[in-house]
């Protein structure tokens, strides 16, 4: 509960090695934010780096109508609200003007307007709630304490975390009971992970929604959502604004960007889909590329339900592929494909027997040879055909 009768003041300080200490981020919040949580009251942040006598600066920052003012330094992010509350109770019960903390003060607000001097400098602390962040080593030590607090909170709420030493979860992440999180995971931002999901080792997940019973393996996910019972990875790259439906398969070395993948669709490996919408129960083969960029603008492709896209196909946006269409392997699709059609867009295969022009595979006898000439024909449909001239003449 927020106490609106307290002025909360966070003093910014600087370090030679860290610069503005309060701006350093730990588990999703800055050090100033972590200190602000301890107040249980609205807070203001003011510069305290060069402050010795802080009276004038504090007078201009506080609301005189609030009877109590609490001042803490931004470099003590481990201080608890319990400690601050106890100090406030002591101030009131003893009717004191000031209660000194190891790194901060609690005092009557009116005291600021009755005194000419208030010296806020305190000694640095190495351990405990008031452990002070002065360099990179201390920042790391404090970060580890905060990280473990977050992990203990989730574990107490029924999340299975197998390795506290190698799991990193930001403070705003929401995880449901029954989720399994294995080692070497970084779960950041406003991520939400729902019941029954399994986060296998080696993921980086930021600002994502992971639905029930999804399974994420050794992948990178940003600002996207993954549907129920969908499998992602290993080594998938889910870029922002991607929406993956339920019961999907996004396999190894697949990259998605700003796209929608319908329920039950499979993109198993080595594929890029950008600025596209796929319907339900589609199959996208190996090595498929959605070519969405012409060097200046990006375009969107729309694929219907139950479409099969063969391996090594290129889908050149903007293009639409209707329901139940079949794209033959190796095709480059630049025009719309109607419902239940087969689209084939390949050059005709030509076989030149006994060809001697491969400099990487000369004749085994090491003798000299003259490569055969090739006659090349381009047809009206754009297909290029090549055949050999038996007499060795150049007829091109």
User: Of 9, 269, 319, 388, which is the active-site residue?
Assistant: 269
Residue 394: pLDDT over 50: no
pLDDT value at 113 more than 60: yes
Q: Is the pLDDT of residue 389 over 80?
A: no
Are 51 and 212 in contact by the 8 Å Cβ rule? The answer is: no
Q: What is the CATH number of the domain that holds 33?
A: 3.90.550.10
Domain termination site, one of 76, 104, 136: 136
Examine residue 296 and state whether it is found in any structural domain, yes or no.
yes
pLDDT > 70 fraction of the chain, expressed in percent and rounded: 87
Question: What is the reported pLDDT for 50?
Answer: 62
Across residues 231-239, what is the average pLDDT? 98
In this prediction, residues 185-193 reach a mean pLDDT of 98
Tell whether 363 and 326 lie within a shared domain. Answer: no
Q: Write down the pLDDT at residue 368.
A: 62
What's the length of the chain? 396
3-state per-residue secondary structure call for 213-240:
CCEECCCEEECCEECCCCEECCCCEECC
Task: Specify if 150 maps to a domain.
Answer: no
- Is the pLDDT confidence value at 212 over 60? yes
Instruction: Classify residue 144: in a domain, yes or no.
Output: no
Does a structural domain hold residue 266? Answer: yes
Given a cut of 70, is residue 6 above it in pLDDT? Answer: yes
Task: Give the CATH number, domain containing residue 278.
Answer: 2.160.10.10
38 plus 111 within the same structural domain: yes
- Residue 393's pLDDT is 43
Over residues 75-99, the pLDDT tens digits come to 999 999 999 999 999 999 999 999 9
Mean pLDDT of 353-372: 65
The count of structural domains within the chain is 3
Query: Which pLDDT does position 209 carry in this prediction?
Result: 98
Among the three residues 73, 108, 136, which one is the final residue of a domain in this structure? 136
Of 282, 367, 369, residue with least CA distance to 326: 282
Range of the domain at 44: 6-136
pLDDT, tens digit (0-9, with 9 covering 90-100), for 9-55: 999 988 889 999 999 999 999 999 999 999 988 899 998 766 667 78
Task: Round to whole Å and give the CA distance between 367 and 386.
Answer: 26
Residue 168: Cβ-neighbour burial (10 angstroms; 0-12, 13-18, 19+): middle
End-to-end CA distance of the chain: 86
In this structure, of 180-189, 282-291, 383-392, the range with the lowest mean pLDDT score is 383-392
Question: Can you read off the two tokens belonging to residue 349?
Answer: 């295969």
| Annotation marks residue 269 as catalytic | yes
Is pLDDT above 60 for 388? no
Q: What is the pLDDT of residues 127-181, one digit of tens each?
A: 899 999 999 999 999 999 999 999 999 999 999 999 999 999 999 999 999 999 9
Q: Are residues 296 and 207 in the same domain?
A: yes
Question: Does position 243 have pLDDT exceeding 60, yes or no?
Answer: yes
pLDDT at 370: 61
Q: Are 285 and 312 in contact (CB under 8 A)?
A: yes
pLDDT at 208: 98
Q: Which two tokens stand for residue 57?
A: 């600066």
The reply to whether 186 and 322 lie within a common domain is: yes
Q: pLDDT (tens digit, 9 = 90+) per residue, 309-323?
A: 999 999 999 999 999
The arithmetic mean of pLDDT across residues 101-122, rounded, is 84
**Which is more confident, 372 or 154?**
154
Question: How much of the chain is in helix, strand and coil states, percent to nearest 5?
Answer: 15, 35, 50
* pTM of the model as a whole: 0.87
Reported confidence tier of residue 351, pLDDT bands at 50, 70, 90: confident
Collect all residues with Cβ–Cβ distance below 8 Å to 196 and sequence separation of at least 6.
178, 179, 212, 213
215, 173: one domain: yes
Among 321, 343, 365, give the residue marking a domain's end.
Answer: 343
Contact 376, 384 (CB under 8 A): yes
Residues 258 and 324 in one domain: yes
Closest residue by Cα to residue 21 from 142, 118, 122: 142
Mean pLDDT, residues 236-245: 98
Is the domain of 358 the same as that of 325? no
CB 330 within 8 A of CB 348: no
Residue percentage of the chain with pLDDT more than 90? 73
Q: Characterize the bridge pairing of strands 25-26 and 29-30.
A: antiparallel
384 has a pLDDT exceeding 70? no
Are the C-beta atoms of residues 308 and 286 closer than 8 Å to each other?
A: no
Question: Cβ of 25: how many Cβ atoms within 10 Å?
Answer: 12
Say if residue 367's pLDDT is above 90.
Answer: no
Question: What pLDDT, on the 0 to 100 scale, is given for residue 133?
Answer: 94
Report which listed range, 105-119, 123-137, 243-257, is most confident: 243-257
Are both 131 and 164 inside the same structural domain?
no
């Amino acid at each position: 509960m927020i106490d609106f009768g307290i002025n909360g003041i966070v003093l910014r300080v600087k370090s030679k090695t860290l610069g503005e200490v309060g701006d350093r981020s730990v588990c999703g919040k800055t050090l100033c934010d972590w200190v602000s949580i301890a107040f249980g009251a609205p807070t203001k942040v003011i510069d305290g780096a060069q402050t010795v006598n802080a009276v004038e600066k504090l007078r201009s920052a506080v609301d005189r109508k609030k009877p109590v003012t609490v001042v803490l330094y931004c470099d003590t992010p481990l201080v608890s609200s319990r400690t601050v509350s106890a100090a406030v109770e002591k101030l009131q019960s003893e009717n004191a003007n000031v209660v000194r903390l190891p790194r901060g003060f609690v005092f009557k607000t009116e005291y600021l307007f009755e005194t000419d001097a208030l010296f806020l400098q305190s000694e640095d602390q190495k351990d405990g709630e008031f452990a002070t962040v002065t360099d990179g080593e201390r920042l790391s030590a404090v970060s580890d304490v905060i990280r473990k607090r977050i992990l203990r909170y989730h574990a107490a709420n029924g999340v299975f975390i197998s390795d506290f030493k190698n799991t990193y979860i930001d403070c705003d992440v929401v995880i449901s009971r029954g989720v399994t999180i294995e080692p070497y995971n970084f779960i950041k931002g406003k991520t939400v992970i729902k019941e029954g999901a399994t986060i296998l080792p080696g993921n980086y997940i930021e600002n994502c929604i992971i639905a029930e019973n999804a399974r994420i393996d050794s992948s990178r996910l940003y600002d996207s959502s993954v549907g129920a019972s969908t499998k992602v990875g290993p080594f998938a790259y889910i870029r922002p604004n991607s929406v993956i439906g339920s019961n999907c398969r996004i396999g190894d070395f697949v990259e998605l960007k700003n796209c929608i993948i319908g329920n039950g669709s499979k993109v198993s490996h080595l594929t890029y889909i950008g600025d596209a919408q796929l319907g339900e129960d589609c199959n996208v083969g190996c090595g498929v590329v959605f070519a969405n960029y012409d060097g200046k603008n990006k375009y969107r492709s729309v694929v219907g339900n139950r479409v099969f896209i063969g391996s090594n196909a290129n889908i050149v946006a903007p293009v639409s592929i209707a329901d139940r269409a079949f794209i033959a392997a190796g095709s480059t699709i630049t025009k719309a494909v109607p419902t239940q059609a087969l689209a084939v867009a390949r050059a005709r295969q030509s076989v030149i027997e006994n060809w001697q022009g491969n400099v990487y595979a000369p004749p085994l006898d090491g003798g000299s040879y003259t490569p055969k000439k090739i006659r090349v024909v381009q047809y009206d449909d754009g297909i290029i055909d090549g055949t050999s001239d038996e007499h060795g003449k150049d007829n091109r």
